[in-house]
Amino acid sequence: KIVYEDDAICVVDKPAGMLSVPGKDNVESVESIMRQRWLQYDGNPIMVHRLDRDTSGLMVVARTLEAYHSLQQQFACRTAAKRYEAVLDGVPAIHEGTISLPLMPDIMDRPRQRVDMEHGKPSVTTYRVVSTQGGRTLVWLYPHTGRTHQLRVHCAHPLGLATPILGDPLYGRGTAAPRMYLHAAELQIVHPTTGQQMKWLSKFI
């Protein structure tokens, strides 16, 4: 779904199950769809950030190199803001706070990430529980860094929320679920051309 589009950027709402960029099997992805969409304009999509295949929600794609560099700088300096919504498989003990657990790839079990206090890269997430019902928890997650699987590990790890995201195939409890319930629900950036502060919201299905 195209949420917003102009000559510099495009904001899309990615469904769960779709890759952000082409994988080994060259299946349909956000990048390949945008490349086909912009073919007549002789423009190539430049991916600013990615969402895991099983994560749904908002992504911004650059249409020009100038827009890409501006957005990259915003993400690097944390002036771009993202809010995720997740349904947790359980109820965490503490309902609001900050998780700081350094992460690195688990070379013995890719694509998993693992917490490593000595060698891991800094990884910080702020969270707030919104509601609980029937042993499930709706939580809002605010990543301050952009490590691979950061939110998934921070929710599941015993030193984090110790409550994995429902349907997470890597870090979950194996509870049957139709999908992984993690959604990029809010995105805020400064438009790279106009300098206007812009915000988009996506409903968590």
Cα separation of 30 and 109, whole Å? 27
178 residue type, one letter: P
Element (H, E) at 198: strand 197-201
Tokens of 164: 């994995």
Catalytic (active site) residue 52: yes
DSSP state of 154: H
Task: Compute the CA torsion angle 32, 22, 180, 81 (nearest 10 deg).
Answer: -70
C-beta separation of 202 from 57 below 8 A = yes
Structure tokens at 195: 């300098």
13: closest CA among 191, 189, 188, 186?
186
Q: How far, in Å, CA of 184 to CA of 7, rounded?
A: 24
> Which structure tokens are listed for 157?
């790890």
What does the DSSP 8-state code read for residue 39?
A: G
Report the C-alpha dihedral over residues 121, 125, 166, 185, rounded to 10 degrees.
-120
Which member of 6, 52, 54, 106 is catalytic?
52
Which residues participate in catalysis according to the annotation? 52
